Amino acid sequence: MRVSAYVKAYTSGGRIRFPRILDELGELFEALVRRHRGEIREEAGDVMHFLQLWLYWRFGLDGELWKCSMGSVEKFMARLDVWRKLYAFTGLDPRASNFCGNYKRREKVVAWLGTFGVGEARANEAYDAVVLPGLKTDALTP
């Protein structure tokens, strides 16, 4: 898949700016300090993922998605279904956006749904109904 197709299908369409890469590098550094191999691999993939998106937005580089970032890319792609359920729960069109941010963090869900005029109480209800049951299932899975 080319970067432009990914951006269209799995993002809100907003530019990736360099500070986002610095944020991801910070998360990678934290994983390195903890010496958690799985987390290091995941964060390194996130760095490469966002670096490629930044290169696309900054310089127009529209190549194939890098193999080294595919774990991160697939993680974001898998999030779309949950976001569509969140939109539908709050009365929005399920295809209101292709944003694939981390729905596991309540504050991100509340903030993003707020950009569509969804109040904090309703966004929290959506999180409790759509996200929490999945988180509980994830915690039980070895």
pLDDT tens per residue across span 44-59: 999 999 999 999 999 9
**Counting beta carbons within 10 angstroms of the beta carbon of residue 25, is it exposed (0 to 12), middle (13 to 18) or buried (19 or more)?**
middle
- The pLDDT assigned to 138 comes to 59
Share of the chain above pLDDT 70, in %: 96
Contact 20/50 with Cβ under 8 angstroms? Answer: yes
DSSP state of 68: G
How far apart are the C-alpha atoms of 124 and 15, rounded to whole Å? 27
Q: Is the pLDDT of residue 107 over 80?
A: yes
Q: What is the pTM of this model?
A: 0.79
How far apart are the C-alpha atoms of 94 and 81, rounded to whole Å? 9
- Average pLDDT of every residue of the chain: 92
Identify the helix (H) or strand (E) that includes residue 44. Answer: helix 37-59
CB environment 49-66: b (16+ within 10 A), e (fewer): bbbbbbbbeeeeeeeebe
How far apart are the C-alpha atoms of 61 and 83, rounded to whole Å? 28
One-letter amino acid at 134 equals G
- The pLDDT assigned to 141 comes to 45
Identify the helix (H) or strand (E) that includes residue 128. Answer: none
Q: Is the pLDDT of residue 142 over 50?
A: no
Q: Is the pLDDT of residue 129 over 90?
A: yes
- The pLDDT assigned to 134 comes to 84
Contact 84/94 with Cβ under 8 angstroms? Answer: yes
Q: Is the pLDDT of residue 9 over 90?
A: no
Q: At 1, list the tokens.
A: 């898949």
